[in-house]
Structure 1
Amino acid sequence: MTPEPENHERLGQAVKRRQERRERWQREGERSLGQNLAMIGALGWTIVVPTLLGIFAGRWLDRAFDSGIFWTLGLLIAGLAIGCIVAWRRMHSE
């Protein structure tokens, strides 16, 4: 069995990305504690804001349609999922 060419390309890209990160780390050094805390705070807000927007929109829809917590729960989960996806992408772009 021979490995597929697609796997070789992905492996090559991963190795290149790792090498670029290592070179950047050697050039710039470790991030400071303040920078790490700022990143954690920004990622936290990236998750919290869509979640809260989902809750507020859901409560408004539940009051408008007298539907209990149907919209609140659905939009809370949707907001949380969107926030986590955005935070994940932002974290991996750093």
Structure 2
Amino acid sequence: MSDLPPEQENDSGSSEMRGHPLHLHNRSQIEKRIASQEARKLKAREEKHHTIWFGLGMFGLIGWSVTIPAVAGALLGMWIDSRWPSRYSWSLMLLIGGIALGCANAWKWIHKEGNVDR
């Protein structure tokens, strides 16, 4: 411990850090990061907020991106089942495959819309 009061101990340590070039470099990076965050927040405030119609449109887009591959898979499966009967149901397998493909497609759209700034 030192005989100096706490105020002087803090000042002596910070004066040593002020002269250190690494400290100035870190300070510059911090200032740049804060400035970019502030600019991003100001931009978000200025942007027009999405309306209910935008939300309904996105809901419809996601719904159709799942529905179309599922229906297409089921129709293709029914066609295969009618031409080449087998022990396995191609309709069911391709319906499940279409749903999986549609869900992956919907996830891609949601992920893309959710990370507009990044």
Decide: shared fold, TM above 0.5.
yes
Alignment of 1:50-61 (within 5 A): 50-61=69-80
User: Are 1:62 and 1:68, in contact at CA under 8 Å, matched by a contact in 2?
Assistant: no
The structure in which a higher percent of residues are helix is 1
Matches of 1:22 and 1:69, distance apart in 2: 56
CA distances 1:54-88 after superposition (whole Å, capped 9, x unpaired): 00000000001113661001000000000000010
What amino acid is aligned across from residue 75 of structure 1 in structure 2? Answer: L
Work out whether residues 59 and 69 of structure 1, in 8 Å CA contact, stay in contact via their aligned partners in 2: no
Task: Figure out how many residues of one structure are paired with residues of the other and give that number.
Answer: 76
- State the partner residue of 1:86: 105
Whole-angstrom distance in 1 between the partners of 2:62 and 2:106: 6
> Could you say which residue in structure 1 is the equivalent of 2:93?
74
Q: Which moved more, 1:45-54 or 1:65-74?
A: 65-74
* 1:20-57 Cα deviation digits (max 9, x unpaired): 98565323142100011000001100000000000000
Partner residue in 2 for 1:44 = 63
Structure 2: unaligned runs, 5 residues or longer: 1-36, 114-118
Larger Rg: 1 or 2? 2
The runs of at least 4 aligned residues of structure 1 exceeding 4 Å deviation read 19-24
What is the match of residue 21 of structure 2? none
Cα RMSD of the aligned pairs, angstroms, is: 2.2
- Note closer, same or farther for the CA distance 1:34–1:66 as it changes in structure 2 (3 Å cut): same
TM-score (norm 2): 0.57
Q: Which runs of 5+ in 1 are unaligned?
A: 1-18
